[in-house]
Amino acid sequence: MAVPHSRGNKLEQQLAGLSALRTAGPTAESIDALRAALSHKSNLMVAKAATIAMEFEQASLLPQLLAAWSRLFESPAESDPQCWGKNALVRALKHLRHDCAPTYLRGLHHVQMEPVWGGSEDTAATLRGACALALTQCLDLPRLVIGRHLVDALADPKEPVRLDVIRAIEGWGGEEAGLLLRLKAKLGDKEPAVIGQTLESLLRLDGSAAILFVDGFLNKGGELAEEAALALGASRLPAAFDLLTERYRESGHAAIGPVLLRGLSSLRSTEAIDFLLDLVRTSRPSAAKQALEALSLHAETPEIAGRAREAGIGRAEEDVRDRARKLFGSRPTNGD
């Protein structure tokens, strides 16, 4: 099972040899092969070996994983283009409960510029985000020092990093985390999705105590309102159902109506589904179609999809019936 390093072997064959280790499982021979692969010059070999070491739950390979981690920071654009090796390594290190903060701080502050057509591009965004998430499990730094690093990373120019930092702050937990998330939401972000993640994380941390705060973003309209509605839906909080239905009734089916209905559908609760089905059956055609669109989130759930279809094709208006067929299939039923 050893992975040879001879020049005669093509990289594809070596990668296939590593993949075959999954079938053998974590035997002594396969662990030796992973150990050898982690020292390979190819970042793709290192990445695959790190992934399999994680799948095998092999904390015994932590020394080799850490050695590969350090090596790929040397001339990183050449040794690890696109950060494929380091990305896989940090996932493995985190999964195997490596809790040494300097390891992750190195990745959190790493910028890797690589040539692209017309200039250069930073390819380390995924790495920085993963390191932010891993940093919160480290116990060798004071809690507030970790918090400072996360606050600094909130200003990262790359959206994926900021998203992961928000998730990391949520995982960091505590009252400080909730306050930071409220501040970030108030300060805003050029990407609405970052505010959406901030509100979603805040709701998970503070529960119903954050409902009124998130409600303020429903009033902003546009993408921020949509992000707030979806965050409320993702919370699964009973109070979110009350708020979304109240705002929907107040909206008079205005432009924000479909946004609120998508939030209700995201709740996935019996109350929310029944509310949407009732709109399909009894509301005016435009609102009925919006409710069907919201329910299409559950198109792969047979019971909900069937009920939504039946409600839609039970309407007299052909456009509502057509929308129900388009979203949930054309299986004939009695009366269709």
Please state the domain count of the chain. Answer: 1
Residue 22's pLDDT band (cuts 50, 70, 90): very high
Name the residue with tokens 């029944």. 274
Burial 261-272 (b: 16+ CB within 10 A, else e): bbbbbbbebeeb
Q: With a cut of 90, say whether residue 4 has pLDDT above it.
A: no
Q: Which two tokens stand for residue 80?
A: 């690890």
The answer to whether the CB of 201 falls within 8 A of the CB of 172 is: no
Task: Quote the pLDDT of residue 329.
Answer: 86
What would the mean pLDDT of 210-221 be, rounded to a whole number?
Answer: 94
Residue 276 covered by a domain: yes
Residue 294 domain-assigned? yes
Q: Would you state the structure tokens that stand for residue 279, as one six-digit string?
A: 């709109």
Higher per-residue confidence, 211 vs 252: 211
Q: For residue 81, is it within any domain?
A: no
Provide the pLDDT confidence category of residue 118 given band limits of 50, 70 and 90: confident
pLDDT at site 6: 46
pTM for this structure?
0.91
pLDDT at 251: 84
Domain that residue 283 falls in? 237-336
Tell me what pLDDT residue 9 has. Answer: 65
pLDDT tens-place string over residues 162-206: 999 999 999 999 999 999 999 999 999 999 999 999 999 999 999
Residue 164 lies in a domain: no
Is residue 133 domain-resident? no
Which tokens in the block code for residue 85?
């090796």
Give the SS3 label for residue 122: strand
Contact 25, 56 (CB under 8 A): yes
pLDDT of residue 81: 97
Reduced to 3 DSSP states, what percent helix, strand and coil does the chain have, rounded to the nearest 5? Answer: 70, 0, 25
Model confidence over 260-315: pLDDT tens digits?
999 999 999 999 999 999 999 999 999 999 999 999 999 999 999 999 999 999 99
Phi, psi of 120, rounded to the nearest 5 degrees: -145, 160
Give the C-alpha separation, 303 to 278, whole Å.
Answer: 16
Q: In whole numbers, what is the pLDDT of the chain averaged over residues? A: 94
Residue 8 forms part of a structural domain? no
Tell me, yes or no, whether 200 lies in a domain. Answer: no
Is residue 113 domain-resident? no
Q: What pLDDT was estimated at residue 323?
A: 97
Nearest one of 265, 210, 258 to 241, comparing CA atoms: 265
Residue with tokens 């939504």: 308
Over residues 49-104, the pLDDT tens digits come to 999 999 999 999 999 999 999 999 999 999 999 999 999 999 999 999 999 999 99
pLDDT value of residue 157: 97
